Amino acid sequence: MNHRYIIMLSACLPVVLTPSHARAMHISEGILPFSWALFWLCASAPFLALGLRTLVRRSEVDLASKPLVGMVAAVVFVISCMPVPVPMAGTCSHPCGTGLAAVLLGPTLGVVAAAVALLIQALFLSHGGLSTWGANLFSMGVMGSFAGYAIFRGLRMAGLGVVAAAFAAGLAADWATYAGTAMIMAAGIRGTSPFWPMAGKIALAFVPTQLPLGILEGAITAGMVSLLRKKRPDLLARTAMTGIGREGR
Amino acid sequence: MNKPVYVLLLCTMLMCGVPFGTLYAGEKWPGVDEAVVNRIAREHGRKERPSLLPTAEGDLQLFMFLMAGTVGGFIAGYYWRVLLEGRKKLSDEKPTR
């Protein structure tokens, strides 16, 4: 019965949230100079290569991880192109989903999930640019995934429960993504202006929207991890809690 | 606190802010790209270019977003089911062994 409610709510959500004019929240086409766009593409490439290698190796060893990778990639794609209105700021933005991907799959596979999502969005949804794909991948994929994973592992090792650590991971991934975007933007467009004041100005402009949205992302991550822990604790033990030794908390 | 209380709290928080948010927004519900990224980029002489594939025209973008949500949601749901069914099959198989 509960599943029916969840399916009905999920079906209604796109109807409520789809805007009449869709707003892209990633860095748009042409915002960054070509040299900087190329730089961020090169900076993201090793992480993506590492992620693809992990994907190949893991699918050879653990066949059961394939549906989880597929599900998480689809979730990252859907929630990272879903504009969520933030009433406190009067603006819209989107969660990233990379915190969830990092917790469930690891940070390098989080980069792969983000890369696929961002590429499809840039090609078919005008949601972020193709030339700025590398920059968006670095902020959302690399910074989001690794920040989320580091926080999750750190808090788990400190003895915090899985769900609370997942909440913090989602929150950290979202905020790190937008901190990354602020730095990428500042580096690319500052001209002769000093870097840090410019990065601070952009980061501060993100705060009213991303502060509550980060909390929402934390809640989504914690909810998904909690659900998976109830339904497939064995699967979660192989992913999120590998090597920590406090399974089931 | 149980789940319905959390959901109610979240909805109340979101709804309480609606009148204030829309009062201060110049345009209703702009994305942070328009409100932050593109605005600051324009101040520094950078302007966004139209995307390479023209999918942002008219209702085409609405269609593309709905398709993306539907297909993405279907894939996520399919794999979720595979994950749960896989578990069920395993537990069903155990007694026969």
Min mean pLDDT across A3-17, A67-81, A134-148, A152-166 is at: A3-17
* B28: DSSP letter: S
Q: Residue range B66-85: average pLDDT?
A: 90
Residues 6+ positions from A20 with CB-CB distance below 8 Å: B62
pLDDT at residue A6, rounded to an integer: 53
Lowest mean pLDDT among A109-113, A190-194, B74-78: A190-194
CB pair distance less than 8 Å for B25 and A90 = yes
> How far away is chain A from the Cα of B1, in angstroms, using its nearest Cα?
15
| Percent residues over pLDDT 70 in chain A | 85
Q: What is the pLDDT of residues A120-134, one digit of tens each?
A: 999 888 888 889 999
Kindly report which listed range (A93-97, A175-179, B15-19) carries the lowest average pLDDT score: B15-19
Q: What is the DSSP annotation of A26-90? A: SPPTTSS-HHHHHHHHHHHHHHHHHHHHHHHHHHHH-TTHHHHHHHHHHHHHHHHT-PEEETTTT
Nearest 5°: phi and psi at A31? -70, -40
- Residue A189, domain CATH: 1.10.1760.20
- Residue A18 counted as domain residue: no
Phi/psi for A36 (5° steps) reads: -75, -35
Closest Cα partner for A163 from A53, A249, A101? Answer: A249
> How much is the pLDDT for B25?
46
- pLDDT tens by residue, A133-192: 999 999 999 999 999 999 999 999 999 999 999 999 999 999 999 999 999 999 999 888
Residue A149: inside a domain: yes
Q: Closest residue of B to A117, CA-based? A: B72
Is residue A20 very low, low, confident or very high in pLDDT (cuts 50, 70, 90)?
very low
User: What does the alpha-carbon distance between residue B57 and residue B88 come to, in Å, rounded to a whole number?
Assistant: 46
Q: What is the pLDDT of residues B34-51, one digit of tens each?
A: 888 888 888 888 888 887
Contacts of B17 in chain A (CB under 8 A): 86-88
A4 lies in a domain? Answer: no
CA distance A30 to chain B (A): 5
Q: In the prediction, which pLDDT does A239 show?
A: 67
Smallest CA-to-CA distance from B31 within A129, A140, A85 is with A85
- Kindly identify which residue of chain A lies nearest to residue B53, measuring between CA atoms: A123
Asked whether the beta carbons of residue B55 and residue A25 sit closer than 8 angstroms, the reply is no
Query: Where in the sequence is the domain holding A91, given as residue range(s)?
Result: 31-239
Dihedral angle of Cα A234, A236, A237, A239, to the nearest 10 degrees: 130
Question: Could you count the other beta carbons within 10 Å of the beta carbon of residue A127?
Answer: 31
Instruction: State both tokens at A234.
Output: 């064995």
Q: How many domains does chain A have?
A: 1
Q: Compute the nearest-CA separation of A221 from chain B (Å).
A: 15
Output the DSSP codes for A92-160.
EE----HHHHHHHH-HHHHHHHHHHHHHHHHHHS--S-STTHHHHIIIIIIIIHHHHHHHHHHHHHTT-
Q: Does A35 have pLDDT greater than 90?
A: yes
Report residue B38 as tokens. 């593109």
Q: Do B61 and A21 touch (CB under 8 A)?
A: yes
Confidence of residue B22 (pLDDT cuts 50, 70, 90): very low
Tokens 């959500």 found at: A13
Q: Report if residue A71 sits inside a domain.
A: yes
Instruction: Note the pLDDT tens digit of each residue in A191-246.
Output: 888 999 999 999 999 999 999 999 999 999 999 999 988 888 887 776 666 545 44
pLDDT, residue A83, reads: 86
Instruction: For chain A, say whether B10 makes contact (Cβ under 8 Å).
Output: yes
A5 located within any domain = no
Which pair of structure tokens corresponds to residue A69?
Answer: 């990778």
Whether A68 sits inside 8 A of B62 (CB atoms) is no
Using a 10 angstrom Cβ sphere, with 0-12 exposed, 13-18 middle and 19 or more buried, the burial of residue B24 is exposed
User: Are B44 and A91 an interchain contact pair (Cβ–Cβ within 8 Å)?
Assistant: no
Confidence of residue A60 (pLDDT cuts 50, 70, 90): confident
Q: With respect to residue A190, please indicate whether it lies within any of the assigned structural domains.
A: yes
Collect all residues of chain B within an 8 Å Cβ-Cβ radius of residue A82. Answer: 69
ipTM passes above 0.90: no
- Comparing A61-65, A86-90, A169-173, B58-62, the range with the smallest average pLDDT is A61-65
The reply to whether A40 falls in a domain is yes
pLDDT surpassing 70 at residue B19: no
Query: Distance of alpha carbon A99 from its chain centroid, rounded?
Result: 5
Kindly indicate the confidence band of residue A13, based on its pLDDT and cuts at 50, 70 and 90: very low
